[in-house]
Structure 1
Amino acid sequence: MEPGYILNKRYQIIRTLGEGGMANVYLANDLVEHRQVTIKVLRLDLQTDESALRRFKREAKALSELDNENIVKIYDISQSNDGLQFLVMEYIEGTDLKEYIKENYPLKYETVVQIMDQILSAVSYAHKQNIIHRDLKPKNILIDKNNVVKITDFGISMATTESTLTQTNSMLGSVHYISPEQARGSMITKQSDIYSLGIVLFELLVGHVPYKGETAISVALKHYKSKIPSVKKIDPKIPQALENVILHATSKSLSDRYQTVAAMRDDLRTTLNEERKEEKIWRPQILIEEETKIIPQINHEDEMIEDDTIELPIKKKYVVPENISLREVLKQKYSRKEVGIFLGAISFITVVITVIIFAITTTPKVISMPDIRGLSKSQATEILDSHKLSLGQVKYQYSSDYNYGQIIKSFPKKDKKVRQQTAINVIISKGPDAKKFGDYRGQNYQAVKKRLEKQGVHVYEEEKYTDSAETGAILKQSISQKEKVVMSETTVTFTISKGPTYFKVRMLSGMSKDQIDAYAQSEGIKVVYQYEYSDTIAENQVIKQGPAPNATMYRGQTLIVILSRGKVLGNENSNSKEKFNQGEGNNRESESLNSTSNSLSQLQQK
């Protein structure tokens, strides 16, 4: 769209702000609210993609419900006259975080913490509304001149039908921030956002991303396999507590990563406190558990050597001479029978102790079952492995609460006691059950809307005057009745009857001008006012109207209303019914009245 173009008779384009893999973005003037706004228009090649359109509307409606000072506000979700889908959003006068880092690096640690705290606040709020950003990066984080952060593009990028990894031009901006589970094609969760936030914090501290490569795939593989570089090796002045937040957030294992954004935010806020200056480097729990255990050093005083004195169950002590075994010593003091009993007892006790030690060391521990709901099969296997559990029998069922491939339920449930080395049975979601949309034509719109919204359908309406259906009845639906859809992922637009194309005009006498305007708007007609002096009708009251009361009018026609100017003041000889409509305007109003009269005459002749 070129500068000066007016979208939907309201938004005047000023200039292009950017072009992305999903949409083109423009700065525009809102001619109604008199403010600058950002217009995001769905790309032309996606405008005919039904799936992309439905997801665009669904995600946009979800975003319209987000209300946080650090999230860009959405003002309108609409469609242009030529069918282009677009969003109208708050315009932020400033720059994105990528440019901000380039212009201001190095940043003070206090500034880094302040910026990250705002980002974490926004993402934490979105997660509570069950919205995952999926593409957190500095380009999607705006910052104004007062260092107020605003996050944009929540979930919109997921409306594309192609894999992000194959979109080389757009992916290189995102691949530097994707989580290991995204890199290997696993299910994206809230913890995927946490990993991306850790990479953003890395870039804020050292001015660049941790991994580089010639292709998107090579960078993605590094997220999946390579250890994240130490920011302290790049800048030794960075507090260890601050680096620990990065290490914790970017852990390859979901069980070691922060479980919530709120937990990450709480940890970040105290990183510059005095009591955390001597903090040690954070290490993943899995690595700690897998380290080789060091056998404690034996105290020399406890060692058994050949010249030790052996205390036997007699009063006198015997010293074991060189080259004489314990058996020989015992023979010198005890009979053969007593020695046999003694040695047998020793052997028995040794066996018992060995069995007990073996049982203790080999019996699996009892632990609490980790929560694996919402994870993919591979993610759950990873977490179960870290707890010395295994994946057991897998069943599948439809679910509206969990996406395809996510675990719905585990047996046992989370927090229940389970012994290690147990196989955990799970139920995995097949996604929502698709069914035929159905035919709602002829039904009452409000009743249908209420019924469909309970099933998660996003319902929109368009109105049309018609003589063939009652007011409020559905005339047309945007989705075929036989099309199979997942209700919770569906957006439909119904065309509904606004009433018949003609109606009986009511008597306007006694109504104020505002009441007449409201009446004309409700009936879909225009109104033109003329004024006359009157000695009998009070000022601004109706003298007469055309067409007359109870006459038939069509929608869109013009109603002429003559209002009183009150009594004539001054010259008594002046015409008390002098009209104050002069020139061209008077001629047009007369023509409108004549046109209305002619139309009514034709209707009566029919």
Structure 2
Amino acid sequence: MTPNYTLSGRYRIVRSLGEGGMANVYLAHDLILDRDVAVKLLRLDLRDDPKTIKRFQREALATTELVHPHIVSLYDVGEENGMQYLVMEYVKGMDLKNYIKENFPLPLQQVIDIMEQILSAVATAHAHNIIHRDLKPQNILIDEQGNAKITDFGIAVALSEHSMTQTNTILGSVHYLSPEQARGSMATKQSDIYSLGIILYEMLTGSVPFKGETAVSIALKHFQNAIPSVRDFDADIPQALENVVLQATAKDPRDRYITVEDMASDLLTTLSTTRAGEKRFIPADLNNDETRIMPSADIQAAIKANQDGKTQVMPRDPVAKSTEVHPKTPESKPETDDAPLPTRSWSKRHPLRRRIIIFGSIFVLLVVAVVIGLELSRPQSTTVPKVTGMSQAAATKVLAKHNLSVGKVKRIKSNRVRTGQVVKSDPGSKTIISQHARINLTVSNGAKKMSFGNYVNESYRDVRQTLKSAGFNVQERFSTSDVAEGQIISQDVVAGSTVLPTATTVTFTVSAGSRYVELKDLTGESRTDIVNYAQSNDLNVNFKRGYSSDQKAGYSYDQTPDGGNDVRAGSTITVTMSRGSQPSGQGTPENFYVKLTLPYKSLTTTATPANDVKIYLQDDNHVLGTLYRDVAIMHDTRVSLPFELSGDTKGRYRIVRNGVTISEKANITSKDATN
């Protein structure tokens, strides 16, 4: 693909970004949306290979399902002259592999921050039941602001696609391959967790734990050799941080973290002083001395993989077995009960049998006594109650009622659980354990700020679900557009800005297509019914208020345009809601202005320096939930807000900058007027 070639009449190729075994990646410019994008083009020599095409299509499908600020977004999929291509978000920066090489050693806090971003992205994939299967630093991009984004879902697989993995078939990069994948077993979520542990190891030490001359020798080390200690490399690394690596890379998947969220929660507290002096993590299978039998299938797979002649199975010598001799003593005769021994008793004739019976009886009695003693001394069991969402004090009381006590208390950032409330317990609720056991609690330390993504051209429905689950308040307004219906056209929170989800309201402008709607008569309707009608028909509604002697308060008495007109989807209609009849003797409404300064906030993480500011008013003519004014500011800006208030009515305003409420005032009267 040569520079300046325009793909599908829209994407002008700028230069090559890299070549891979399946596709070549180019930097291109989207001529319609005027932005840089990355184009992944299937190699010409592979365009007739059905397996490669299936993998290419699988990447498109997997990426389309995943909407997350730390997953590279997919913008478009197409084909031109037999060439299949993907158009993806262009991340200006480098992959994590090169980032480690150029910046090693990385500060521990930076390692945790980058790893947390990666974990949150993988958690989203796992929530959609998608396993990446090829997590490695080369598939993680770091932008110029230090944010991580996962890419290349080419061999990702849904949990239901069992046919994708076959025995003795290895998929993924061998340096980051889990032991079960190295043996050709089915990849699971724990397989991704193992790869994440290897990535964390490399960020801490600058290299992978296992190296070898061949891929086979490296794969064997993954399920034979213990992970080297990161503290042997750097003694300043806390034991708690090394324990995250050890648990994530445990040989047995059952010893690893159950979920990626569990790994993230553990990782966030590794630098806390409360975990100083923590003991080294030892997998459960190493804490007992029982002998484990390696399945024959694993032995055969290992022998088949290691065909270097070093491991041999020696057959048992058949000659030794056949020449084994049992000598007979001619002089000895078998003693029987029929022999003439009239002077000897049975016990004297069978002293060995008598001893066996006596000692056997004693042994049986001892075993019975021990079993009874253990049964009597066994503590009573109880069920762990559900304490999530409770304060720590309330959880302590509930546990005490079940004869349980609080063990370790770990604090993490959470956008879903309020400060001071329990996020989870360990063991979890409904687990049956012994009474008087200790239950570890994870308590919310408040919400955490996050970098807001660029969601333009993505499905509003999917983005809304993702952001609401993260704690955002999400709103929509419609606009007529040639863009596909339901796609996001613009957003009022600047991409790349750092925001607090629980304190952020984001409004997306969503394409309503180009269809027309026959507007019905909305007079006499309640506010709720009008909003529902507008949303179901992709219309925007602007509410006003006024007095009406013909309509009771809370219901509409006027609208613009009138009912029966055809309006384009995405249009804005204005509806006036009745405040009831105007009270007698109330006098002329007061009209005044309130002046205030809109503060400008410098944005260093985006190429768009303007602040998007939305102003909401409430007075005789305006409703607080309806946008009064939308302005873009480049510096501190002075504005005047008009109010019209009758009688004892109080005014109110709210100022929202880049999606975050920065100012709000209620109970405004003419006394607040400024000249």
Smaller-chain TM-score bracket: 0.3 to 0.5
Q: Which has the higher strand share?
A: 2
TM-score when normalising by structure 1: 0.48
TM score, norm. by length of structure 2: 0.43
- In our comparison, the structure showing a higher alpha carbon Rg is 1
